[in-house]
Structure 1
Amino acid sequence: MDDLIWPLSNLHVAASFLASDIRGTSACPEFASATKNANRSDVNLDDWFEQVANCSGVDIQSNTSNYPDVIKMLKCCGPCILMMPDNGFIVLLKTKRQNAVILNYKQQFSLLPLTKLKDILTKEHVLPLRQSLSEQLLPLGLPTKQHEKVLESLLIEKLSNTPVIQAWIFHPAAYDNIFAQFKQAKFLKGLMLSIGAALLFQIMLIISWYVIGLGVFETNDHDSVFSLWALLLFSAIPFYYLSLKIKNRLSLDFGAELRKQLLQGILKLKPNDVRRHSSGHFMGQVMDIDLLEAQSFGMSFIAITALTQVFLAGIILAVAGVSWSHSILLTTLLILIGMLSLKYYREIKRWLAFDLQLNCKLSEQLVGHRTRFIQEMPEQRHLVEDEDLSNYTKLCEQLDKWGAVLTTFAGRRVWLFLSLLLLMPELTSDNVDVASLSVCIGAILLAAISLEQFANSVKYLLEARCAWVNLRPMYEGAAETCANSTQSQASFTHADSKGAEYPTIQARELHFSFNKRKILDGCDFSINAKDKMLLEGNSGAGKSTLGNVIAGAYMPQQGELSLNGTSFKAVYNELWRKKIVMAPQFHDNYLFSQTLAFNLLMGRCWPPSEADLIDAQTVCNELGLGKLINKMPAGLHQMVGEGGWNLSHGEQSRVFIARALLQRADLIILDESFSSLDPKTFNIALPCVLKRSNALLIIAHP
């Protein structure tokens, strides 16, 4: 058992192994020094794993599980590193049925039952409670099996809201090439297997055509021939079933993988990129996700299968000895499909671009409906909409026209008519090879069905291609930041540490421009630990821009910005934002339709521990939100936001302040967070902010 446990001093070896297995790169060797000869309490493991992720090019997600969900989590979290109750770790690669595949300390694979692994990981929380509950159940005199069953039910009830294990899950980075993602998920292997099964199905159908031709025209033993023909047809059914089953499973896995990667990319979009687009733009992209998921994989499979069947039919027609003209005709139709597909692609690009514009306009008009109703002239209210709908109708007509042309000229009717016309000399000849003619007719029918399937699938694939073009910036939202970032070998020094050598923030010659307008021009300043600073200025003077640059939302275009002596360029962006937390202006902040506890602790820890909830309640009381929470039936667990408990602007502002304070950052930036507070509430909230912040920067109007 001891060889399954990795000590903290060799944790970098385990991380390197998992990173190389996923991406072919190992973690930086410099991280060994952070864990060598150290106790777990001395190392911030979340920060350490984030630095490993940045250096090795993989994503590492920290996750916890409550007791009832431990087995479920273990089945789906591999590859990951699990934290032991003591000072060790377990490396889980994957699960096979009810067993876990463990990488032991000697870098060999071992199997361990999931139930035993669960007991090892949860013993710190479970053993004391199990012993206490077991003693309480003894007077009942329950049979052994029933005693264990009741005991397990009580443990699930008692520990249902208590995180009992922590794991760091390794998976490909969101900015990796999409084909690399699918290769890691082993999609190509399943796709080739499915296509192979479909081809075997079609080959057996062609052979059955050959057999039936022999039986009808050249053999008198019809019973044997028809028996062989029926046997071939029944033998083809398992191949068709296997192909369909694999395709459906891969389609579901593809959709799940696609949405997971898109979500990771969305969460890493730069704030400035998000601000440039309207809500309608993102609403249109969400609809594009459905389009891409529904059509891309399934239609790709149909297109590949159909095209393979067309080539198979062409080869059969060429070698059947009847005529080469059918192969030439088939090639000509494929070229025609390509040319018409190019024209259809151009039309659908125009249509989707205009559709996205309409989504943007629609969302803006919905938000501003009351303003338009009061301010706009009634007779002019719908002129623009009518013009847009007219243009949209014209684009739809063009799209439908070329779609019909594509399916008509590449459909089975044109192919069947021309191919049978070319076959007429053979049909009327007295010296025809009946078996070859039967195979040729079967190949013509196969090509007819495959051509129509291919043309229809190409239409949908072109739509999916256009949807992917719109979604690609979201998918690659982390690419520019993460792929080019370098890793700092320095460890952060918290502002509370004694004898700090560097200021919390040091800026030299900072320059930042927006749309060719200079906002920051050679700024020099420093913020030390425990400094409380007020930044005042007129509207548009660049106060919020400076705050965003310090917080890492904007990248300074020139100059040097460092945190505790570590340059911004050498620090992973997420680590920077953990150390510097900003509460943006009211219109840039958001109250989620979730519980109040989630809105308070989303930047700190979720799901929260009991200590986190107590800390959140204390901060809220100090900010003057105690009476509000007491009014809520569910307290901190009351739903707020749209459809929930309605909070005033002042109450929301204090929730945003509490959210920033609860993250315990080295520097907190409050951008006009007090502007919606009355003097009495301001005098209550300010002492709490001053007491609970390390370094503080308040942005306000004069």
Structure 2
Amino acid sequence: MTDLAPNWWPLARLGEAIEALALDAGLIRDPPTDPLVVPAAFALEDVPRWTEWAAARLGVEVVDVETPASAIDAVLASGGPAILLDDTAEGPGFFALAGRRRGGVLLLDRQAHRRRVPIAALRDRLVEPVAAEHRAAVDELLDRAMIQPRRRPRAAAALLHERLRAERIGGISLLRAPASASVWRQMRLDGGLRTLALIVAAFVALYVLEIAGWRVIGEGVLAGKVDSGWLLGWVVILLTAVVAQTASAWCEASLAVDLGRIMKARLLAGALALRPDAIKRSGVGQMIGRVIEAQALEALTFNGGIGVLLAGIELVFTAWVLAHGAAPTAHLTLLVGWVVLTGLLGWRYFVRMRRWSGERLDMTNALIEAMVGHRTRLAQDRAARRDAQDDAVVQRYLTTSAAMDGASIIGVTALPSIWLFAGIAALVPAFAGQPVPSPVTLAISLGGLLLGQRAFGGIAGGSAGLARAAIAWSRVRDLFAAARGGAVTVTRRTDGIADEDRPVIEAEGLMFRYPGADRRVVDRANLTIRHGEKILLDGASGGGKSTLAALLTGLETPTSGLLLLDGLDKATRGDAWHRLAAAAPQFHDNHILSGSLAFNLLMARSWPPTSADLADATELCEELGLGDLLSRMPGGIEQQVGETGWQLSHGERSRIFLARALLQRASLTILDESFASLDPQRLGQCLAAAIDRSQALVVITHR
């Protein structure tokens, strides 16, 4: 039996283990100058919050995982790095999962050295507290069934495995680079750079084998006979080339998946970090256009980049082959000139494609905006004017399309084919002089020309993909920049636990103005909100109430002044600010997402939800007067709602927005005109629920 004791860490050394794991996995280069120290008053339930805080100090992201007990092998086989909580009779502790190796997993011992242990031993240790509750029932069942002793262990394991499907194992915290980290860093940590090197090596080997195959067949043919030894050598070369090509294809697919995952996560992080007013300034069509470009960016970047890289390698082999051919000077000069010509025509194609893409996205934007406002256009706009506008847009698109297609025919399609004819023409002077080229050098030249044609075809196709990727990048680069700017920064603090004696909100000299505006929307505001306080904020429309709410909930950053939430500023809290300060924005800024009603209610609290979460959400719906809605919907709280689901009334949507904010159980809850659409009876009912279920509450109304 494997002894796991040397690999078990006490909870007091959690900070030390996180540092060791981050260093071991390459997530950080150097240990922090200020070590992570676990506070004295520290319990098992404080671990997720503190672990997130500690990892953020190192620039690392933590993902808490909960898995069915029967599927924990897959989580362990992923190799971490991860913290695995283990509450034993000796007290709470954990294991530091560092990797995997040959059917086992690698754990860091208390000296931060890697030790390999069987995955079954670690699984049994983590699952045992849950399995112990079912083992007696399984043994009783086997006794009643009178299972033979030799079959009993296998039957018991199978029954226990089935019972554990309904049990969930928590306390698993995965460490990884944040989505806001650079693509290069994430590729390095995921082994993407090593995969790229394997792709290049495989293609170099493939070209070497291809040239060797030509040589073997060529020498045999020119010698006038091809014996079995030459044929066998040629077959071996071909089979080796197939292996190299298969390995390259597998590596390309693996790299494409990793790059796509990293870029999607980075774009999503950037989209979530965008300022709300920046999103409002973009129309629906523009946002959809950016989504389309973002979707194409990863594929175009990968395919185009790999295509150009491999074609560049092929050009190097082309130059080497042509240098040993019948007209080396003429062919090498032609090769250099053709590379320059390809670059110039490629730039011409890029400029025209950029203009065409702009027209295409503008047309997409105009179409979607017209669809959104279709009824308004029918009522307010003249048909002749609408048709004239549409005709002008289509005509511009047709003109730019024709220009781009013309550049594509010359630069992408025709140029590689013309290269072959130009190369053959360059051989003519060699035949006019003395000595006449031998058949061997002539064959080498023709092989080099064919290799060059393939290389220029790869460059043309890859450059077209890179051109489209560059255009797509111009549309989404602000998302990448927003993700980088949204990275969490944490200052020195070791508890991360709210103090009930501290005010929830402390604001002093708070000022805010929107970018490009001269007027201060919030001007030298001083505000203190304590735990348990219920505040009504009343004012005229346009007075800055919603802007103040955005500041308090962390959606906007003050221009100047001091703003603390539970004693810490936003730079210290990072994304945790949004969990402590919840809001139900105004109706036009709040949305029902396509999904179940449960998801729309609990998306900010916990997803997937526990049975307790669903019961609490159902109870709150009853308190807000939504019980009739739940009884009418066939699926109850699991009913699909949103644009493609069950249609909700204005008042029902308002109460769902209210429930979503209250279910977050934040230290501060702000309701921005959440009761405006409710009748007096519903208003009293919802206000009572809001007061009862919130800690500190701010209700905003307008006069």
Asked if Structure 1 and Structure 2 have the same fold, meaning a TM-score greater than 0.5 normalized by the shorter chain, the answer is yes
Moved more, 597-606 or 16-25: 16-25
The offset of 1:183, in angstroms, is 1.6
- Within the candidate set 385, 399, 420, 1:380 is matched to 385
Indicate yes or no: 2:610 matched with 1:612: no
Equivalent residue, structure 1, for 2:425 = 421
Q: Is the 8 A contact 2:284 2:365 kept in 1?
A: yes
Amino acid at match of 2:18: A
The offset of 1:307, in angstroms, is 1.2
The offset of 1:26, in angstroms, is 5.6
Q: Is the 8 A contact 1:51 1:487 kept in 2?
A: no
Equivalent residue, structure 2, for 1:171 = 176
The offset of 1:228, in angstroms, is 4.6
User: What aligned pairs does 1:319-334 form with structure 2 within 5 A after superposition?
Assistant: 319-320=324-325, 322-334=327-339
Moved more, 677-686 or 161-170: 161-170
Q: Secondary structure at the match of 1:78?
A: coil
Q: Secondary structure at the match of 1:646?
A: coil
The offset of 1:402, in angstroms, is 1.3
The offset of 1:562, in angstroms, is 1.2
The offset of 1:70, in angstroms, is 2.4
Equivalent residue, structure 2, for 1:102 = 107
Judged with a 3 Å threshold, the aligned counterparts in structure 2 of structure 1 residues 155 and 643 are, in CA distance, closer, same or farther, namely farther
Equivalent residue, structure 1, for 2:317 = 312
Q: Secondary structure at the match of 2:243?
A: helix
Judged with a 3 Å threshold, the aligned counterparts in structure 2 of structure 1 residues 677 and 145 are, in CA distance, closer, same or farther, namely farther
Judged with a 3 Å threshold, the aligned counterparts in structure 2 of structure 1 residues 158 and 657 are, in CA distance, closer, same or farther, namely farther
User: What aligned pairs does 1:461-476 form with structure 2 within 5 A after superposition?
Assistant: 461-476=466-481
Equivalent residue, structure 1, for 2:16 = 13
Equivalent residue, structure 2, for 1:134 = 139
Q: TM-score, normalised by structure 1?
A: 0.91
Moved more, 69-78 or 145-154: 145-154
CA distance in 2, matches of 1:225, 1:31: 67
The offset of 1:161, in angstroms, is 5.5
Equivalent residue, structure 1, for 2:455 = 450
Indicate yes or no: 2:461 matched with 1:459: no
CA shift digits 1:415-472 (9 cap, x unpaired): 1112111212334655434433322221121111111121121111211222133223
**Runs of 5+ unmatched residues, structure 1:** none
The offset of 1:331, in angstroms, is 0.9
Equivalent residue, structure 2, for 1:297 = 302
CA distance in 1, matches of 2:283, 2:166: 39
Amino acid at match of 2:643: E
The offset of 1:285, in angstroms, is 2.5
Equivalent residue, structure 1, for 2:122 = 117
Moved more, 550-559 or 469-478: 469-478
The offset of 1:261, in angstroms, is 3.5
CA distance in 2, matches of 1:644, 1:27: 51
Judged with a 3 Å threshold, the aligned counterparts in structure 2 of structure 1 residues 241 and 285 are, in CA distance, closer, same or farther, namely same
CA distance in 2, matches of 1:263, 1:157: 37
CA shift digits 1:159-187 (9 cap, x unpaired): 55553223222222222221222122212
CA distance in 1, matches of 2:190, 2:570: 34
Q: Percent identity?
A: 30
Q: Is the 8 A contact 2:53 2:496 kept in 1?
A: no
Q: Secondary structure at the match of 2:513?
A: strand
CA distance in 2, matches of 1:414, 1:511: 66
- Within the candidate set 519, 524, 527, 2:526 is matched to 524
CA distance in 2, matches of 1:409, 1:653: 61
Moved more, 560-569 or 223-232: 223-232
Judged with a 3 Å threshold, the aligned counterparts in structure 2 of structure 1 residues 518 and 490 are, in CA distance, closer, same or farther, namely farther
Amino acid at match of 1:297: F
User: What aligned pairs does 1:380-419 form with structure 2 within 5 A after superposition?
Assistant: 380-408=385-413, 410-411=415-416, 413-419=417-423
User: What aligned pairs does 1:243-254 form with structure 2 within 5 A after superposition?
Assistant: 243-254=248-259
Q: Secondary structure at the match of 1:101?
A: strand
Equivalent residue, structure 1, for 2:80 = 78
CA distance in 1, matches of 2:654, 2:72: 37
Equivalent residue, structure 1, for 2:355 = 350
Judged with a 3 Å threshold, the aligned counterparts in structure 2 of structure 1 residues 221 and 47 are, in CA distance, closer, same or farther, namely closer
Equivalent residue, structure 2, for 1:203 = 208
Amino acid at match of 2:397: Y
Indicate yes or no: 2:645 matched with 1:640: no
Judged with a 3 Å threshold, the aligned counterparts in structure 2 of structure 1 residues 109 and 600 are, in CA distance, closer, same or farther, namely same
Moved more, 187-196 or 233-242: 233-242
CA shift digits 1:193-220 (9 cap, x unpaired): 2222222222222233334443344556
Equivalent residue, structure 2, for 1:513 = 513
Q: Is the 8 A contact 1:581 1:667 kept in 2?
A: yes
Q: TM-score, normalised by structure 2?
A: 0.91
CA distance in 1, matches of 2:286, 2:157: 50
CA distance in 1, matches of 2:356, 2:593: 34
**Runs of 5+ unmatched residues, structure 2:** none
Equivalent residue, structure 1, for 2:28 = 24
CA distance in 2, matches of 1:143, 1:336: 82
The offset of 1:530, in angstroms, is 1.5
Amino acid at match of 2:626: L
The offset of 1:155, in angstroms, is 5.5
Moved more, 224-233 or 115-124: 224-233
Amino acid at match of 2:423: S
The offset of 1:382, in angstroms, is 3.2
Q: Is the 8 A contact 1:198 1:240 kept in 2?
A: yes
Judged with a 3 Å threshold, the aligned counterparts in structure 2 of structure 1 residues 559 and 292 are, in CA distance, closer, same or farther, namely same
Q: Secondary structure at the match of 1:384?
A: helix
CA distance in 2, matches of 1:265, 1:49: 24
Equivalent residue, structure 1, for 2:7 = 4
CA distance in 1, matches of 2:547, 2:151: 65
